[in-house]
Amino acid sequence: MEEHLRILFVSAEVSPFARTGGLGDVVGALPSALAAQGYEVRVVMPLYQGVRDRAFVMTPLIEALRTPLAFGERTARVWQSVLDTNNETQPVPVYLIEQDDYFARPGLYGDASGDYADNPVRFIFFCRAALALTERLAWFPHVIHCHDWHTGLVPAYLRFLPGVDRRLTTAAAVFTIHNLAYQGIFPAAVLGQTGLPPRLFQPAGMEFYGNINFMKAGILYADVLTTVSPTYAEEICTPEFGYGLDGVLRARRAALTGILNGVDYKIWDPATDPALAARYHVDDLTGKTACKTALLRRFGLLDDPEIPLCSMITRLAEQKGVDLVANALERLFALDVNCIILGSGDRSYEERFSSLARRYPDRLGLRLGFNETLSHQIQAGSDCLLMPSRFEPCGLTQLYAMRYGAIPIVRATGGLRDTVAPFDPVTRQGT
Ligand code: ADP
Ligand code: GLC
């Protein structure tokens, strides 16, 4: 029988189980797309509190997965679920690692007061448990695909951790950079907790200005590096976008490829989307007007479909250029434009927009928090989507906007540059 290439995805976010942004969307969609091409794909992620709360169908798989750590053994319970695939292919198994000391919390990475202090230990544990799981299942992937700093230790473990099964260490490690701004930088003492050799504490290793850096480990020790757009692959090799790792990336330039993200048009399709007030299609946009009216009413904005509605759906972070929008809002209102902002993140931005929303209640609709259903409704009801990111590795929100007939207004950076074509009034071409 033909042997399929076996691929294990290791990720801190997997949609629909848990996500804070586009990482979850991608790791929720790419495995099924690969499975549809005949690869044997499995996914492993932590079992966060939120996964349990939302009652996904899961079956118990392993009662006690023993996970050796430098600071003592921990056990985990492992649950199995599946990614929702199109019916043509085998469903992709998802393994959820349950360890309540680390993951039974409201946030994925932190709470209102900041990042969880034990994040290094949480993700050391997760990486080790992912490897222990494949050994326990005797399912040895040919490729281990790791995503962002949370899983940056996996490529290092495959190379340097004593006692790992050879059938596992011969796997090729792919490390994908979704966002270089978040690197997992921790005090030097954390190296001891990783179980990796102390000699990695050097500039040519995981050391980073006196600390250790999980992202750097992924970059140095993976066999292949990818990032999520061709332009971002160029940008991160420069000091402006490299966040201190541009030199390391330049040294690994030959191993680095920029591959544009795809999105799941089964979930993001205005012709079938169950969240919408009405459904519509590129050839018949009548339903979009109904979506806009429903949205304007819901937010109590000036209920005139002729007034353009420009929206943002975003993490409220400096990356996204939200301050640029905040600065421009009053001028937009003066041009007779309405705005809706759905976002969560930095407290200072939340306060800034809240005070603007109080001053312009019929112009600015604001929802703070993460609301998936509402994000679909805003895409459908808006005329334009604002995304003036300072940097953008790929960006998915603009891709969804284009599918929903909302014009993306973006800065020419990273994946925004690679996906949005400027409008040329002469040829009338562009997105
Ligand atoms: P990033 O991953 O940098 O946040 P992307 O554009 O790649 O940016 O992906 C963002 C994803 O998160 C999209 O699916 C978007 O709809 C979603 N999202 C962001 N903020 C919110 C929010 N407040 N509520 C619901 N969905 C959100
Ligand atoms: C990151 C980036 C975003 C990208 C997403 C998925 O969160 O900020 O640009 O689309 O990862 O790769």
Compute CA distances 225 → 104, 239, 254, 255, 361, whole Å.
31, 19, 9, 6, 47
Q: Counting ligands in written order, which one lies closest to the CA of residue 16?
A: 1
Best of 9, 176, 178 to mutate for ligand 2, by most ligand atoms within 8 A of CB?
178
Proximal ligand: closest to the CA of 387: 1
Give the number of the ligand closest to the Cα of residue 340: 1
Cα–Cα distance list, 390 to 66, 293, 419 (Å): 44, 32, 16
The answer, yes or no, to whether any atom of ligand 1 lies below 6 A from the CB of 39, is: no
**Amino acid in the structure at residue 358:** R
Nearest partner of 296 among 287, 288, 305, judged by Cα:
305
Whole-number Å distance between alpha carbons of 175 and 365: 39
- For residue 258, give the DSSP letter: E
Ligand 1 neighbourhood includes 315 CB (under 6 angstroms):
yes
Return per-residue pLDDT of the chain as tens, 431 residues: 467 899 999 999 999 999 999 999 999 999 999 999 999 999 999 999 999 999 899 999 999 999 999 999 999 999 999 997 555 567 899 999 999 999 999 999 999 889 999 999 999 999 999 999 999 999 999 999 999 999 999 999 999 999 999 999 999 999 999 999 999 999 999 999 999 999 999 999 999 999 999 999 999 999 999 999 999 999 999 999 999 999 999 999 999 999 999 999 999 999 999 999 999 999 999 999 999 999 999 999 998 989 999 999 999 999 999 999 999 999 999 999 999 999 999 999 999 999 999 999 999 999 999 999 999 999 999 999 999 999 999 999 999 999 999 999 999 999 999 999 999 999 999 99
* Rounded-to-integer distance, Cα 261 and Cα 51, Å: 25
Mutate to test the pocket of ligand 1, among 20, 25, 179 (most ligand atoms within 8 A of CB): 25
314 pocket-lining for ligand 1 (C-beta < 6 Å): yes
| Separation in Å, CA 85 to CA 90, 147, 268, 408 | 8, 21, 14, 29
Sequence-ordered list of residues with C-beta below 8 angstroms from that of 2, at least 6 positions apart, any chain: none
β-pairing, 40-46 with 6-10?
A: parallel
Where do the DSSP E strands lie in 271-406? 309-316, 338-345, 364-368, 384-387
Residue 167 structure tokens? 């059938």
Is the CB of 394 inside a 6 Å radius of any atom of ligand 2?
yes
Q: Measuring from atom 22 of ligand 1, which residue has the nearest CA? A: 370
Number of CB atoms found within 10 A of residue 283's CB: 6
Ligand 1 pocket, 231 CB below 6 A? no
CB 264 less than 6 A from any atom of ligand 2: no
Q: Does residue 26's CB lie within 6 angstroms of at least one atom of ligand 2?
A: yes
Name the nearest CA neighbour of 46 among 93, 94, 8, 6. 94
Question: To test the ligand 2 pocket, which listed residue (179, 318, 417) has its Cβ within 8 A of the most ligand atoms?
Answer: 179
CA 116 centroid distance within chain: 19
Lookup: tokens for 97:
């690692």
